[in-house]
Structure 1
Amino acid sequence: MTGAGEGPEDPAAATTARVGDRPVERNDRAHGTAPRAAPPHPARTRAETARHWAVRAGLPVSLGLWLLSLRSVPLDGMRDLGLLQVLPPLFWVATVLLTLGFCVALSDRRTHGAWLTGYVLGLIALIHATPTLLYPTLRYSWAWKHLAVVDAMMRHNGEVPNANKFSVYNDWPGFFQLNALFLRATGLDSAVGYAAWTPAFANALLLAPLLLLYRCVTRDRRLVWGAVWIFYSCSWVGQDYFAPQSFAFLLFMTVTALAFRQLPSSALPRPDARRRGGWPPALLAAVVVLVAAIVVSHPLTPLMLISALVALSLPRRNRSVILPLLAATVVLTAIWDTTVARSYISVHIDNLTQSLVQPDRNVTAGLAPLGDAAPGQILLSWIDRGLSATVVVLAVAGFLVRRWTRRTGLPLLAVAPIPLLAVNAYGGEMLFRAYLFALPAAAFLVAALLLPSDARRYAPRTLVVYPVVFLALLGGLFFGYYGKEAVNRFTPGEVAAARYVTEHAPPDSTIIMLTSDVPGIDMDYDLHPRIELAYQDPKDTRRLVDDPVAGVTDFAYGATEERPAYLVLSRAQDMNGYLTGSLPADTSERLRSALPNAPGFTRVYADEDAVVYRYVTPRPAGGAP
């Protein structure tokens, strides 16, 4: 059994070293009195040489095969399973080789940390840079929405009037204002260029706090890097795009790791300030600045941080470190929510109060009904749930089997999101967010279960069993992360259609869509009301299904030459309706067939992937206005 806060045996701390086949006391070696080493066994030498070259060849070969696999991917073939059904076999060969190379590197204590870092960064690139390299435009509709918010805040030099459903961003503007400041400083016109690389970049930055967190818990680097790999292999939720959530989560992990660094149980060398039972003042001030950045950028993450700090404060030995940070977080959150964010919170306080007495509905709100979804999406949903459940089960098993983990604080961090999961549904996403915030700690508990501390048993398992486990977890991630790419991917024609509308629509013109999956349509959202037909009152949706033209004109009626309405139909919207079942799959096709002859509608833009109709209410018979 290891001491508090320490993981399995640290090879650097051992008192003996093996030279050839004989154990030699380190003290004797230091004084030059060690017995002469026996010649290494030839078979062992050959195995070590093969392992050495496997590690060094596996990374560049797998990355080279990955890049070659992206040369010609038939993106138009994506349907129920998204990228999974169009990625070539070479991509999966690269994935397997990368995983095998990492496992070989992990099995050898002499592998330099740079190679482990390279393998993990290679995994991040393979997962998160693949869509960016394949798609000609920015991925995911919400990333486009956030670009529109940055643009609007720059135009208005701060708060955006007439924001409607985007008003929440006025109350938590930190992420957007930071990007606006960067754009002004660099002279760039838009964040669209670097926003496409946010998933890969954000995950690469996340590596630093993950390593710090795990190294505060154990000195066994195999366990540290194994936990890192498991985290990236199971992080399927997809909250890493250009969004306040990815920014706030990175800060959350940084604050959490720095707090663990100060705890008495930390496995890292203890600075003098921590021996006295507190923070170095300069470091505490810097951490409070990070907390302030979280508070002004995202409504949920400060609450997750408060819940995590409350959990970590339960052991008495932690309180001198955690309580000052907890107090600062509570005060900053309370001040912000009762001043700047008061307008939003006061409007939604009733929903919050109601959710407090419905914990069962909050927990299940994220489990969307699957009856109308496409068959492939039903399979994806069950795989997502299965992967999440597997992580939970393995983490619990790690907690029970590896008893030393109970003194690390990570089990407390893993269960910290549960109270928030029970008290609020967060628009149906709380279940996913709770999984995301619990995953760093849960990944370590899984690694502690899977990776033994006995080096003699470790290498054979690493080369046989662990690649299978790691590939199984990674396979589940690919289903969750790539399975909806038929909707998340946009073509240049779809982007051009949205740009046409936002550039030609006069102020107060109504923009009508089937769903929100139109890239860039939210630009100038303060000038144009927007209507998504798939998410209206059931009576209106039924009318749209029965008579698509009438269903559209019900919302566009009253449009004039000065304030016309624009209807946008596009490939991604059609795919959304098919995958989710929000509208019958033929709704868009029926509209496209009927609109050319419908009174008041004029086609003003057409592309193979998108079409735009301008609508002005026809004059009644007799010419009266």
Structure 2
Amino acid sequence: MVTLREEREAPPSAEPPARVRPVPRDRAVVALVVSFLAGLALYWVPLRGVDLAAMNGYGLVSVLPIATLAGAFVLVVTFFATLALDRPRRALLAVQLVALVCALHGLAPALEELARPPTAWQHLGFVEYITRTGEPHVMLDARYSWPGFFAAAGFVTRAAGIEDLEPIMHWSPVGLELLYLVAYYLVLRVMWADWRAKWTAAWLLVAADWVGQDYFAPQGLGFVLYLLLLGILLNWFMPHRDEPAWRPGRRRFPFGPAGLMTPGERRVGHPGPGERTAAFAVALGIFAITVATHQLTPYLMLFAVTGLVLVGRCALRGLPILMAVLTASWIGYMAKAYWEGQSDSLFSGIGNLFDTLGSSVAGRVTKSSAELAAVQQTRILIAVAVVSLAFCGLYRRRRRRFDDRAAMVLLLVPFLAIGLQNYGGEITLRVYLFVLPGACLLMAYLFFPTAFPVARPVRAAGAAAVCGLLVAGSFLFVRFGNENFEQVRPGEVQAFHEMLRQAPQGRINLVWQTGLKGPMGAFPQAPWGLSSQERWDYTELQAPRRPEDIRPILNALKRQPGGYFLTTRSNEEYNHYFFALPEDYGPRLVKALESSPELRPVFRHRDADVFALRTQPGPAPQVTPPLPFEVGRTAWTQVGVLSTVLLTIVLVTREVARIRGRLPRRGAHPVLRGFGYATWPLVALCLFVIFERFHVLGS
């Protein structure tokens, strides 16, 4: 105290203080900022001259200027050079991360006039129908059985007075990726790791996400909710270290040596019972929204939460049972229109692991275009490399005696979804997407394995930069490899609006061609169903070898009144690259349609052409009114609904009691102990009723 007082009262020196020289590290920050701005200019300015019509089978990367690729190189290098500094420059790193999102996921939105891909416009049609009618059309499309996303989008846009959703659809990839990062922050926050590892994991999550599920779709929102749920559980419900799951012991762990292990996660803060109860309510609400929004995401949430509970990283031991009850109840009661009459096909994919892998991996590689096949094969290689590097990072952390149970759960449990269903041949893509949070974290540990700053940050950041360049370069190569037929051209949207204008009432039979032999059961590469979805019928025709043979088209138009034949440049490109139709097939087909005396042009555009019969065979069929939604009745349905409600109340009560410390290991309150005795009989009754409904209504 005397020393401090003397120092405080010491007279000021007569000499002026010496001018402090700039620290070299500040010069490095300035150089990084200048390099970053130069990289942004190199990346974006040359894109003004890009000609999308010049794309070849490699997609968008084939028309990117060399300067843009050089700018991407600079952006990657400057980010990892920032990680080599002695302390985190959070503002600079955050700006670089946002710039990466805009550069990678905003590339196609910046170059194309309309939102992509065509599926986004189908979802716009779902929103339009629910907003117009006030209810989902469950018999029209299976996705109407999970209407949460579409109903919420319609409600929010109507409340905000937004009439045109296209700008939101257009930039949804950038917006959703930013939301991914915000939610991922909650997961990274609890990890016992160097700050460089956390920033690297966030960077990799953006750069390695080439799957393309961040468009205007329920899956993108579902992934945000998935990350939010995990972040809430890890931040507010991490068990105390004095519990058995946290107590290190001398035992041999896989991928590492025997001895004391340090948990790879840490408790953040000291939330009280009230705060944890509120967090539990939010987590339960997130899951309930997801159950009503998407078919697949609730199962992946259930797998991940169960894994965290089993490895001792989540204290809500009854939450997996509650999640399973909510998921099964929605499927059994609210999604009856989805599985009614087809229960055999619904469960046919369970356990068919090799068939699912064959159709969703090797089956997705085209044999008709060497360029497109190279893009698709590279996607497989990237997925294998990401998972392999994640295991290498896990091994290196194990060598440092870190027990990364949460990261292992996030990496491994999504693979369980492969045994559920083929999911239209896309299940491996969805698995890769949900693997990324755990894989990116473990990949970052490969370069920064300890919980403290590394001794040689420049060397580690340099190695990470090499990996980052490979990841970002592969992203530009594979992310937009399908852009020839996944972009939505303005004329294609205008074509559908013109058909609706010329056919103000009745059903519309849309005839189109595919290069696949036999019924494909799919739809044209076009923004079909963007409005008035209940009015459209779709008739697919196998394209003949000679496009001049238009007899199948004429016959299809004559079989049903109110028919139109549509050909779009996107659909023609799809038939060329996937089914090896000649490159000039589309122009030759349009020329043959023009010369036919039985057809009249309805819409002509460089992007699409629509033709109809000059003389219609009769009036267009009337639109069939939708059937009202119903849960469906069986002998046990009412009992099942009542038991589900009671079971939900019991499970929620027990979890709240556990959070508030009312469930000691021994001597619990008699009422709560009675709730515990009632759990399993109610679970058995709920399962019995759901299976009874599948047997009675699904057969």
The answer to whether the aligner puts 1:356 opposite 2:350 as a matched pair is: yes
Query: Quick one: distance in 1 between partners of 2:22 and 2:388?
Result: 40
Q: 2:688 aligns to what?
A: none
CA deviations 1:344-401 (Å, max 9, x no partner) are: 0234421233222421111222123545332211110111111111001111112222
Could you say which residue in structure 2 is the equivalent of 1:59?
A: 36
Aligned partners of 1:285, 1:370: CA distance in 2, in Å?
44
Tell me how far apart the structure 1 counterparts of residues 543 and 525 of structure 2 sit (CA, whole Å): 21
Q: Verify the 8 A CA contact 2:349 2:421 in the aligned structure 1.
A: yes
| Alpha-carbon distance in structure 2 between the residues aligned to 1:345 and 1:584 | 40
Q: How do 1:514-529 and structure 2 match up within 5 A?
A: 514=513, 516-529=524-537
SS in structure 1 opposite 2:604? strand
SS at match of 2:511: strand
1:593-612 equivalent positions in 2, closer than 5 A: 593-612=591-610
Aligned AA for 1:269? V
**Whole-angstrom CA distance in 2 between matches of 1:121 and 1:143:** 24
**Corresponding letter in the other structure for 1:149:** F
Which residue pairs with 1:376 in the alignment? 371
The one-letter amino acid paired with 2:368 is: A
Alignment deviations for residues 480-538 of structure 1 (CA, whole Å, 9 cap, x no partner): 211111112233222222221122234212012235222355421211212343xxxxx
Aligned equivalent of 1:14: none
Question: Alpha-carbon deviation of 1:135?
Answer: 1.0
SS at match of 1:416: helix
Counterpart residue number, 1:170: 144
Q: In the TM superposition, what is the alpha-carbon distance from 1:452 to its structure 2 partner?
A: 4.6
Q: Supply the AA of the counterpart residue of 2:612.
A: R
**2:213 counterpart residue number:** 239
Give the Cα–Cα distance (whole angstroms) in 2 for the partners of residues 109 and 513 of structure 1. 61
Cα offset for 1:330? 1.5
Residue among 496, 501, 504 paired with 1:503? 501
Task: Find the partner of 2:100 among 123, 127, 132.
Answer: 123
User: CA contact under 8 A between 2:83 and 2:461: conserved in structure 1?
Assistant: no
TM-score, scaled relative to structure 2: 0.76
Q: Report matched runs for 1:277-356 at 5 Å.
A: 280-315=276-311, 317-318=312-313, 320-321=315-316, 323-356=317-350
- Other-structure match for 2:437: 440
> Would the aligned equivalents of 1:78 and 1:85 in 2 still touch at CA under 8 Å?
yes
Moved more, 305-314 or 590-599: 590-599
Which residue identity does 2:369 align to in structure 1? Answer: A
In structure 1, how many angstroms separate the alpha carbons of the residues matched to 2:547 and 2:124? Answer: 36
Partner of 1:263: 238
| 8 A contact 1:217–1:408 mirrored in 2 | no
Q: CA offset at residue 115 of structure 1?
A: 1.2
Partners of 1:359 and 1:407 in 2: CA distance: 28
Q: Which residue of 2 aligns with 1:388?
A: 383
**Distance in structure 1 (CA, Å) of the matches to 2:27 and 2:341:** 65
Q: Provide the residue aligned with 2:257 in structure 1.
A: none
- Output the amino acid matched with 2:562: P
CA RMSD of aligned residues (A): 2.7
Partner residue of 1:481 out of 479, 483, 487: 479
More displaced, 436-445 or 546-555? Answer: 546-555
Q: Is the aligned partner of 1:490 residue 2:465?
A: no
Q: How far apart, CA to CA, are the structure 1 residues paired with 2:402 and 2:415?
A: 19
Alpha carbons of 1:544 and 1:148: their partners in 2 closer, same or farther (altered >3 Å)?
farther
Question: In the aligned structure 1, how far is the partner of 2:352 from the partner of 2:190?
Answer: 38
The worse-fitting range, judged by mean Cα deviation, of 591-600 and 479-488 is 591-600
Structure 1 residue 565 corresponds to structure 2 residue 542: no
Query: Is residue 530 from structure 1 mapped to residue 538 from structure 2 by the alignment?
Result: yes
Partner of 2:649: none
CA contact (8 A) 1:65 1:91 kept: yes
> So what's the TM-score if we normalise by structure 1?
0.84
Task: Please state how far the C-alpha of 1:58 moved relative to its aligned partner.
Answer: 3.0
Following TM superposition, by how much is the alpha carbon of 1:213 offset from its aligned partner in structure 2, in angstroms?
0.5
CA-to-partner distance for each residue in 1:9-54, whole Å, 9 max, x for gaps?
A: xxxxxxxxxxxxxxxxxxx99xx9xxxxxxxxxxx98752442212
Question: Does structure 1 conserve the Cα–Cα contact (< 8 Å) formed by 2:204 and 2:468?
Answer: yes
Which residue is 2:652 aligned to?
none
State how 1:36-115 maps to structure 2 within 5 Å: 47-115=24-92
Alpha-carbon distance in structure 2 between the residues aligned to 1:464 and 1:407: 25
Aligned equivalent of 1:420: 417
Are the equivalent residues in 2 in contact too, given 1:54–1:101 (CA < 8 A)? no
**For 2:137 and 2:529, how far apart are their aligned partners in 1?**
17
Secondary structure of 2:347's counterpart equals: helix
1:266-320 Cα shifts (integer Å, max 9, x gaps): 42434244xx8x98111101111111110000010001111111211222x3353
Q: Residue type matched to 1:523 in 2?
A: S
User: Which stretch of the first structure deviates more once superposed, 430-439 or 394-403?
Assistant: 394-403
How far does residue 211 in structure 1 lie from its aligned partner after superposition? 1.6
Aligned to 1:472: 470
SS in 2 for 1:111: coil
Instruction: Look up the match of 2:553.
Output: 552
Moved more, 607-616 or 125-134: 607-616
Distance of aligned partners of 1:49 and 1:416 in 2 relative to their CA distance in 1, 3 Å threshold: same
Q: Does 1:400 align with 2:395?
A: yes
CA contact (8 A) 2:510 2:565 kept: yes
Point out the structure with max Rg over C-alpha.
Answer: 2
Contact 1:578 1:585 in 2 (8 A): yes
**What SS does structure 2 have at the residue aligned with 1:354?**
coil
1:143-197 CA-to-partner distances (Å, cap 9, x unmatched) read: 111111111111111122762xx2x122100000001101210222232121111
The alpha carbon displacement at 1:595 in A equals: 1.5
For the residue of structure 1 that corresponds to 2:609, the secondary structure is: strand
The residue aligned with 2:653 is none
The structure-2 alpha-carbon separation of the partners of 1:546 and 1:501, relative to structure 1 and needing over 3 Å to count, comes to closer
**Residues 419-476 of structure 1: per-residue CA shift (max 9 Å, x gap):** 2212321111111111111111011111101235474643332453322211001111
2:176–2:214 Cα contact (<8 Å) kept: yes
In structure 2, the CA distance between the partners of 1:501 and 1:458, relative to structure 1 (3 Å rule), is farther
Distance in 1 (alpha carbons) for counterparts of 2:547 and 2:494 = 30
Q: 1:224 to 1:482 in 2, by over 3 A?
A: same
Match of 1:17 in 2: none
Equivalenced residues, count: 563
The 2-side partners of 1:456 and 1:137 are apart by 46
What residue is the counterpart of 1:252 in the other structure? 226
**Partners in 2 of 1:170 and 1:128 — Cα distance?**
28
Deviation at 1:542, TM superposition (A): 6.5
Q: Give the secondary-structure state (helix, strand or coil) at the position aligned to 1:299.
A: coil
Worse overlay, 477-486 or 593-602: 593-602
Conserved 8 A contact 1:512-1:566: yes
Match of residue 450, structure 1, among 433, 447, 453:
447
Aligned partners of 1:227 and 1:444 also within 8 Å: yes
Q: Please give the residue correspondences for 1:159-238 in structure 2 after superposition, counting only pairs within 5 Å.
A: 159-160=136-137, 163=140, 166=141, 168-238=142-212
CA distance in 2, matches of 1:580, 1:235: 24
Q: Classify the secondary structure of the residue corresponding to 1:568.
A: strand
Aligned ranges 1:4-23 → 2 under 5 Å? none
Aligned-partner residue type, residue 61 of structure 1: A
